[in-house]
Amino acid sequence: MVTATVTKGSKTMTDKSQKQVRRVKISSQRQMNIPKEFYEALNLKDEALVEFTGKELIIRPADYEIVDFSVDILKDLVERGYSGEDLIHKFTQVKAEIPKALDRMKQEAMNNPSLTDNLDEYLDSLEDSAEDE
């Protein structure tokens, strides 16, 4: 049997890469306090995204947009000749792969960053290029 001891009290988050665990109370109204160190380390504001994985809750900053690719996937599959039950099956299969593909893209971008200047300037340049077309 494997056991672990978690001591009460506050730890500073000097090494953010190290896994930190804190015990928090949950009220009868399902409310809980996020430890200050975690709140500040994630730069949380007035909203957060909460994901349930079946075994745990994951709390992320709500500073990014959730994009639904459903219409694009369906258009592509219809153009490729899928219809009826085949379309439904293939759509379900492709949509399930999106989170994994996005994670791979994110990991590749983190491992090989190609942006060396200001992100806002880069995004503005992309918008300017799209307007020129």
pLDDT at 87 > cutoff 60: yes
Average pLDDT over residues 69-73: 90
Q: Closest by alpha carbon to 90, among 105, 68, 75?
A: 75
Average pLDDT over residues 36-63: 88
Q: Give the chain's mean pLDDT.
A: 80
pLDDT at 121 > cutoff 80: no
Q: For residue 50, what is the DSSP state?
A: E
Quote the pLDDT of residue 84. 95
pLDDT at 29 > cutoff 70: yes
- Cα dihedral 19, 13, 24, 22 in deg (nearest 10): 30
